[in-house]
């Protein structure tokens, strides 16, 4: 059995679960040993669990079972993504009571993949199976994000990569790891990841901070009105 997980007990009574590398590189399909081993370790202790994820994905059946086990766990499950949670690993992340992402971390969701051999009938069976697998994955995403199934389906079709900001905006994550005090203040504007909107907002803030207080006796450039009028020969000296 190739273990891709590791439990560690903490002095405060909580536990930490590390999920690193491929999820069940040796498939859990028709495997009744590995899932039982994971469940036994999960249920061997009590208290809240912190799950650190750095995985490119793997077996969707294994991911579904781990997701179910964590969802059924009677204590809080805090997921922390410090590297990548892609494909099947993103499904496991959805089991978090709270999902936190490093500012440098990534999450990726896409359509399920398989390998099939056979005639057209067998190919159609594979297509139908993948469609149902996709729907099951959308179920997990929908519960966490509250996004519509159509929106989630489009995101999966496009193989969507998300940094922490985008994952939080879409509801796949709840907050940042290592958040500074400044990050706790609510944003004045929602940029929706538009480079132009971000640039215009920053320029507006800079101009507001750098602009001198307006003196009614001067024009907008700060020139005394009397001097300006003389320059324009509106008032003769």
Q: Write out pLDDT tens, residues 126-143.
A: 999 999 999 999 999 999
Query: Could you tell me if 118 and 85 lie in one domain?
Result: yes
pLDDT of the residue at 32 = 78
**For residue 189, what pLDDT band results from cuts at 50, 70 and 90?**
very low
Query: Could you tell me if 136 and 218 lie in one domain?
Result: no
Query: Could you tell me if 218 and 155 lie in one domain?
Result: no
Query: Could you tell me if 168 and 190 lie in one domain?
Result: no
pLDDT of the residue at 27 = 72
- The encoded tokens of residue 16 equal 């930490």
Query: Could you tell me if 169 and 204 lie in one domain?
Result: no
pLDDT of the residue at 2 = 75
Query: Could you tell me if 74 and 149 lie in one domain?
Result: yes
Asked which of 184, 199, 217 is the last residue of a domain, the reply is 184
Residue 198 pLDDT > 50: no
70-129 residue pLDDT tens: 999 999 999 999 999 999 999 999 999 999 999 999 999 999 999 999 999 999 999 999
Least Cα distance to 28 among 73, 79, 67, 64 occurs for 64
How far CA 28 is from CA of 3, 31, 42, 119, in Å, comes to: 12, 5, 17, 26
pLDDT of the residue at 232 = 45
Q: What is the CATH number of the domain that holds 75?
A: 3.90.226.10
DSSP string of 145-182? H---HHHHHHHHHTTEEEEHHHHHHHTS--EESS--GG
User: Can you tell me the mean pLDDT for 34-60?
Assistant: 95
Q: Number of structural domains, the chain? A: 2
pLDDT of the residue at 204 = 60
Residue 234 pLDDT > 60: no
User: Can you tell me the mean pLDDT for 145-168?
Assistant: 98
Query: Could you tell me if 66 and 79 lie in one domain?
Result: yes
Query: Could you tell me if 103 and 139 lie in one domain?
Result: yes
Q: Estimate the share of the chain in helix, then strand, then coil, as percent rounded to the nearest 5.
A: 40, 20, 40
Q: Which residues contact 38 (CB under 8 A, 6 or more apart)?
A: 5, 65, 66, 69
Query: Could you tell me if 222 and 111 lie in one domain?
Result: no
Query: Could you tell me if 150 and 194 lie in one domain?
Result: no
Query: Could you tell me if 16 and 131 lie in one domain?
Result: yes
pLDDT of the residue at 207 = 56
Query: Could you tell me if 48 and 160 lie in one domain?
Result: yes
Domain limits for position 99: 5-184
Least Cα distance to 110 among 60, 70, 144 occurs for 60
């Amino acid at each position: 059995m190739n273990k891709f997980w590791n439990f560690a007990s903490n002095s405060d009574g909580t536990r930490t679960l590390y999920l690193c590398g491929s999820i069940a590189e040796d498939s859990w399909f028709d495997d009744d040993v590995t899932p039982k081993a994971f469940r036994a370790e999960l249920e061997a202790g009590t208290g809240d669990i912190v799950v650190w994820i750095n995985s490119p994905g793997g077996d969707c059946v294994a991911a579904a079972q781990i997701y179910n086990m964590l969802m059924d766990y009677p204590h809080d499950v805090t997921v922390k993504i410090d590297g990548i949670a892609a494909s099947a690993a993103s499904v496991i992340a959805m089991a978090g009571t709270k999902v936190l992402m490093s500012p440098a971390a990534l999450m990726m969701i896409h359509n399920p993949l398989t390998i099939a051999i056979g005639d057209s009938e067998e190919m159609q069976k594979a297509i139908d199976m993948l469609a149902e697998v996709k729907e099951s994955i959308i179920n997990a995403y929908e519960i966490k994000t509250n996004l519509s199934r159509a929106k989630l389906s489009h995101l999966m079709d496009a193989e969507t990569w998300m940094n922490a900001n985008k994952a939080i905006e879409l509801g796949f994550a709840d907050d940042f790891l290592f958040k500074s005090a400044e990050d706790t203040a609510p944003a004045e504007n929602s940029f929706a990841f538009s480079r132009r909107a971000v640039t215009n907002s920053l320029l507006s803030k800079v101009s507001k901070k750098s602009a001198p207080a307006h003196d009614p006796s001067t024009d907008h450039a700060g020139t005394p009105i009397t001097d300006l009028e003389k320059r324009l020969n509106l008032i003769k000296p």
